[in-house]
Amino acid sequence: MKYTRLTREQFEELHQEFINFLATQSITKEEWEQIKEKQPEVAEEEMDVFSDLVWEGVLNQTQYLEHLSPKQLFLFKLEAEAIKLWVLKTQADVDFSTEEGWIWLQENITEDAVEVLTASKSFSDDRNADVFQLIQQGAVITKGELYENMQQFIPKK
């Protein structure tokens, strides 16, 4: 397995897609029930293959990630060849993960209390593995609104 198995809730949400996946392998509902009962290891393998397929599809479409912590905000833009990163951080007595901290950040983004760093890193040979690793470390997939909106606040260097 390349990624992680989907959760029970994710499997429930993707129930029809999983049925279609089994159907592409000519596995009927009755056969699936027998496999789960008599060959649980085969059922586990099928679930793992399906999970990897879902993850590949999601990761292929991912363009933005965010990782928020009390003192730092990481904004990632996934381009064709590289990851663009903005890091906003502070030593001030504020927590970015709260509403008050978020308001403070917006009001102070151009002040010395907020350090803005940028970086770019080329993807390895496996872009999706790189993206998945960031997700495993706490980043979440977003539509990129924050990344794009922050451009007007982040001072140009």
Q: What is the mean pLDDT of the chain?
A: 92
For the entire predicted model, the pTM comes to 0.85
- Say what percent of the chain tops pLDDT 90: 76
Kindly tell me if the per-residue pLDDT of 5 is higher than 90. Answer: yes
Query: Taking a C-beta distance cutoff of 8 angstroms, is the pair 59, 31 a contact?
Result: no
SS3 74: strand
Phi, psi for residue 88 in degrees, rounded to 5: -115, 125
Write the pLDDT tens digit of every residue in 41-59. Answer: 999 999 999 999 999 999 9
Beta bridge partners of 77: 64, 84
Give the span between the Cα atoms of 19 and 68, in whole angstroms. Answer: 36
CA 92 from chain centre, in angstroms, equals: 28
Radius of gyration for the chain, computed over Cα atoms and rounded to the nearest angstrom: 21
Q: Is the pLDDT of residue 156 over 60?
A: no
Confidence of residue 75 (pLDDT cuts 50, 70, 90): very high
Q: Provide the pLDDT confidence category of residue 10 given band limits of 50, 70 and 90.
A: very high
**pLDDT for residue 146:** 87
Residues 6+ apart with CB under 8 A from 82: 120, 121, 122, 123
- Looking up tokens 């159907």 gives 23
